[in-house]
A and B are shown apart, each in its own frame.
Chain A
Amino acid sequence: MSGIVRLMDVVKDYPLGKVTVHALRKVNLTIDKGEFTVIAGPSGSGKTTLLNLIGCIDVATAGEVLVDGKSTGKLTDKQLTSLRLNSIGFIFQSFNLINVLDIRQNVEFPLLLQGGLSKAERQARVDDVVDKVGLRQFASQRPNELSGGQRQRVAIARALVTRPAIVLADEPTANLDSTTGTQIIDLMKEINHQDHTTFIFSTHDEKVMKRADRVVRILDGMLEAAGLSESRGPSESGGEQVHA
């Protein structure tokens, strides 16, 4: 059983006052390298919780989550942070750029956290991804001088600059108009094709879902039954079956 991300019987409960919210109930999921996967479901279905566990910013209450071969439940905060830094790129719904830094600096930021690269190497990497997202002429501007779409492009560039194995995006088009949203998804898809970077993102936008290789549907913390829940797009990458 391979797969860059594997979830086995994963349970996530949140205490909410005296009751416990069962956000994920025994979820099993495998995502292979290079897949362009959408996690779909209505609000409160557990999409974000699932992404949080895959993104190593939260840990499961029970079950096992393997990311890039590492079982996240056994890692310390420091190791989890390291794993996020080196293996995962994040694209947030609200872009979450650092407003006091310019575009180039925002993109460079994860490289600075990683350390190890010379200034020239960092420069080359940043130029490369900024070119890729088509923002070269905006490189020295601050995030608040850009449009939403442009900001999300910066976020994509920041997510890609460390060349992560997985890029996670939490409803990346939710704050964008549909045209821009489509452009963003196209850009991500293009990068997926070029670099075989694994993309996992959540959405409830049907148009976005149509562009995915694979759609995993979630409802009330459970993935819907195989075949029903999953539709395969034109991608050639073969995936594991989803176990309900």
Chain B
Amino acid sequence: MSATLGVLIQMALRNLVVHRVKTGVVGLIMFFGTFLVVSGTAMLDSIRGSMEKSITSSLSGDIQVYSSEAEDALALFGSMGMSTPDIGEIDEFKPLRETLLEVEGVKAVVPMGIAMATVFGGTEIDRVLSDLRVATRDADAEGTAMRVEQLVQIAERMRKDVAMAAKASSEPEKTQDQLASLDRVLAPGFGADLAADPSGTLDWLDNKVAPIAADGRMLYLRNIGTNLDTFPQTFDRFRLVDGELVPPGQRGILLSKAFYEKQAKNFVARELDKIKKSLDQGKTIAEDAVVSELVARTATQYQRIQFQLSPKDAVIVTERLRTKLGRTDGDLAALLQEFLKMDDANFADRYAWFYQEIAPRVRLYEIPVGEEVTLRSFTKSGYIRAVNVKVYGTFEFSGLETSDLAGANNLVDMMTFRSLYGKMTDDQLDELADIKASSGVKQVSRDNAEDALFGGGGSLEAETTTAGAGFDEFAGLTLGAAATAGALDTTQYTTAQMEDGLALTAAVVLDEGGDVPAAIERIEAAAKAKGLAVQAVGWETASGIVGQIVMVLQVVLYTAIFIIFLVALVIINNTMVMATMERTTEIGTMRAIGAQRPFVIVLFLVETMVLGAIAGGLGAGAGALFITWLNHVGVPAVADALVLLFAGPRLYPVFTSGNLAFGMGSILAISALSTLYPSVLAARVLPVVAMQAKE
């Protein structure tokens, strides 16, 4: 038997040499197919591995547990849909945590919730008025004068805008009214008015002048509520960048550094960062249209710096700009415009100068670390919640610093999450009970509680925090629309208060090397035994859009492999059918001298399999070499989404014996499959053709 196989293999090898062209064509397809399978699956496995590292160690844990009554799938990194997905609720986290911690292989359980919120980034006039209020309160004459000067500059610009808009306005009375208000600010006697009645004039400015300015920018924050005490230990990629961690038991927010840099930063600084990034990538202002456009646009935004400088700083910056630019005259506006007209030669120098001289004198971030912000959210039942919370610091996930996806989430404590989400505190529930008793409303569910409390069609904003009242030193800094968020809640909460109660999901971290599917089974069994209506999903499913990216990559790769193999199948099949026709005499002779049909089938199969083994082996080897080379140089994450997939700016893929085995296995299977028909055809060759052969 082995001797027969030996001869078959020898015949196969020699036939491969004899039929060089056929061997070359088929071999090349096989080589390329196996190369693609090995390198593609190795890349995909590496990406999956790196993504697992990114995601499990930054946000999701290995498994996410959430309500089985969820309408939508959990998507921690955001979903494809526009609306906020309904992922149900876990009313009481405590029993779930206790149940999960008893499950074999579970290392840690962290409560989580997702709540969207908005923060108003104020307009320049809001800031100036806010500063002016402080200066007049403190009877700071010099400060007041400087702010008034700024106010006048802003009013001049606003008047031009309004006058322009008036020509097309459908409400001439309104624009006339606005022009009149601005004219009052620009009139010579305005300083005196302010001095005479600071409080009344400021209120008038707040009510009449500030609203004329275009709307301030609204920032959208995606917040993950969690236990901020345990989060940094549980998710080891977490790294504090600026500020400090939220003290244990305190409410607070940690902003994602990526969000902070890309959303909350001063517009000009942000644009300069963008230009620098482009130049670091090798682009130039001179040659790249997008970058030069960016530079031109940034220069037009000089007022975003001009109006942010205090009058004192404005003088300093004007002087230094003159020195820097070698000018003896020119006002701040002109100097800033000239400064911002950058080219490839001076960009690096001016970028550094900007951060050294200008950045420290302006409000570089709209939400400064250490200050308080008012987060507003639409709760599930549709009313608006406003919560004041202190920004303790910024954070990033190491390796994922540049990933927008990884940086899409900010972290808040569970109490704040519950406020944003629409969960009432015990005090509020008591208050609700009182109102219920006094008003005669019998049934108040959480969904209509606010209507019951505040009278349906009336005010839509609810004051959420009543505890911890005291002097609100940040009240004047609360930006934009009237803040009715109440005072900052500085109550010291216990871990139990923070953790127990409403959560949306539980992040489960497994022991090192834990088997996720097995753990999911154990978790679901344990939850079922305890009567908890929850479901468990692996990190890949839980991550939402990111998991879908890998799925898309997988589909693309397997489609490509499928197509290549389909082509291979057809070509090998055709080539072998032709080979069969060419070799009918040989086959007929073998049949005549006693070869059974299965022998002929095996002969052809062996021939293709030997070619498959050789070409496939070379292809697999080339794939392995290619991956090794990539591992050496690294695959750059050219898009932000890739940073998360690659768990860093570069992916260093590796191949496994599994990739090689899969590559070889599939090419041998394709070889066998594609030769099946030709070999059956060959087996049908009649022995009588041997007699017909003429030389």
A61 on the interface (CB 8 Å rule)? no
CB 8 Å contact bits of B221-265 with A (1 = contact, 0 = none)? 000000000000000000000000000000000000000000000
**Chain B 342-380 interface 0/1 with A at a Cβ cutoff of 8 Å (1 = within):** 000000000000000000000000000000000000000
Are the CB atoms of A119 and B593 closer together than 8 Å? no
Q: Are B691 and A57 in contact (CB under 8 A)?
A: yes
* A114 and B688 alpha carbons, distance in the complex (Å): 20
Residue of A78, A94, A105, A119 near B694 (CB, 8 A) is A94
* Neighbouring B residues of A105 by C-beta, 8 Å: 7, 10
A 43-58 to B, binary, CB cutoff 8 A, 1 in contact else 0: 0000010011001011
Give chain B nearest CB distance to A243 CB in angstroms.
26
Residues of B within 8 A of A82 (CB): 594, 596
Say if the beta carbon of B497 comes within 8 Å of chain A: no
Indicate whether A84 sits within 8 Å of B693 (C-beta atoms), given known contacts A57-B687, A115-B4. no
Q: Is the interface of B mostly helix, strand, loop or mixed?
A: helix
Complex interface: stretch among A85-93, A131-139, A193-201, A227-235 = A85-93
Residues of A near B590 (CB, < 8 A) are: 98, 109
Cross-chain contact of B11 among A93, A101, A119 (Cβ < 8 A): A101
Q: Tell me the bound Cα distance from A92 to B690 in angstroms.
A: 8
Residues on A with beta carbons closer than 8 Å to the beta carbon of B597: 77-78, 81
Chain A residue contacts of B691, Cβ below 8 A:
48, 51-52, 55, 57, 92-93, 170
**Quick check: B4 and A112 within 8 Å, CB to CB?**
yes
A244 to chain B, nearest CB (A): 25
Hey, which chain B residues are within 8 Å of A96, CB to CB? Answer: 585-586, 589, 592, 690, 693
In the assembled complex, B199 has its CB within 8 A of some CB on chain A: no
Cross-chain contact of B592 among A78, A84, A98, A119 (Cβ < 8 A)? A84
The reply to whether B11 and A78 form a contact with Cβ atoms under 8 Å apart is: no
Q: A78 to B595, alpha carbons, bound, how many Å?
A: 9
* B interface size (C-beta, 8 A): 29
B3 adjacent to chain A (CB < 8 Å): yes
Q: Does B18 contact A (CB under 8 A)?
A: yes
Task: Name the A residues within 8 Å of B381 (CB-CB).
Answer: none
**Would you call B1 an interface residue if the criterion is a C-beta within 8 Å of the partner chain's C-beta atoms?**
yes
Q: Contacting B7 at CB < 8 Å: which of A55, A89, A93, A109? A: A109
User: Is residue B495 within 8 Å, beta carbon to beta carbon, of the partner chain?
Assistant: no
CA distance A96 to B589 in the complex (A): 6
Contact B7 A90 (CB under 8 A): no
Q: Decide yes or no: A175 and B695 within 8 Å by CB, A52-B688, A84-B687 being known contacts.
A: yes
Q: Which residues of A sit under 8 angstroms from B594, Cβ to Cβ?
A: 81-82, 84-86, 110, 113-114, 162
B599 touches A57 (CB 8 A): no
Measuring CB to CB, which residues of chain A are less than 8 angstroms from any residue of chain B? 48, 51-52, 55, 57-58, 77-78, 81-82, 84-86, 89-90, 92-96, 98-101, 105, 108-110, 112-115, 119, 122, 158-159, 162, 170, 175
A48 partner residues in chain B, CB cutoff 8 A: 691
- Listed by A's residue number, 17 A-B pairs whose Cβ atoms lie within 8 Å are A48-B691, A51-B691, A52-B688, A57-B686, A57-B691, A81-B591, A92-B589, A93-B694, A93-B695, A98-B586, A99-B586, A101-B10, A105-B7, A109-B593, A110-B594, A113-B595, A119-B3
Tell me whether B7 and A112 are in contact (CB under 8 A): yes
B14 within 8 A of A: yes
Would A110 and B593 be within 8 Å (CB), given that A57-B687, A84-B687, A101-B10 are in contact? Answer: yes
Q: Is A101 in contact with B7, judged by CB distance below 8 angstroms?
A: yes
Contacts A99-B586, A105-B10 known; list 10 others, CB within 8 Å. A81-B687, A82-B594, A89-B593, A90-B589, A98-B586, A99-B18, A100-B11, A112-B4, A112-B7, A113-B595
Closest 5 CB pairs of A and B: A85-B594, A100-B14, A57-B687, A96-B589, A94-B695
* Shortest distance between the CB of B579 and any CB in chain A (Å): 13
- Shortest distance from the beta carbon of A96 to any chain B beta carbon, whole Å: 4
Bound CA–CA A170/B695 (angstroms) = 13
Q: Is the CB of B592 within 8 A of A113?
A: no
Check A55 against B592 for contact (C-beta < 8 Å): yes
B1-18 to A contact mask, C-beta < 8 Å, 1/0: 101100100110011001
The listed residue with most B CB atoms (<10 A of its CB), out of A100, A105, A113, A159, is A100
Q: How far is the CB of A93 from chain B (nearest CB, A)?
A: 7
How many angstroms between the C-alpha atoms of A175 and B693 in the bound complex? 12
Q: Would you call A100 and B3 a contact (CB within 8 A)?
A: no
* CA–CA, A56 and B73, complex, Å: 71
Residue of B nearest to A105 (CB): B7
Quick one: closest A residue to B6, CB to CB?
Answer: A112
A212 to B18, CA, bound (A): 40
* CB-CB nearest in chain B for A119: B3
Shortest Cβ gap from A204 to chain B (Å): 15
Closest residue on chain B to residue A80 by CB atoms: B687
Whether A90 lies near B18 (C-beta < 8 A) is no
Please, which residues of chain A bring their CB within 8 A of the CB of B11? 98, 100-101
Q: What is the minimal beta-carbon distance from B313 to any residue of chain A, in angstroms? A: 90
CA distance A58 to B14 in the complex (A): 31
Residue among B14, B590, B593 with the highest chain A CB neighbour number at 10 A: B593
Task: Give the complex CA separation of A159 and B589 in angstroms.
Answer: 12
Residues of A within 8 A of B7 (CB): 101, 105, 108-109, 112
Query: Quick check: B589 and A78 within 8 Å, CB to CB?
Result: no
Q: Which of A58, A77, A108 contacts B688 (CB 8 A)?
A: A58
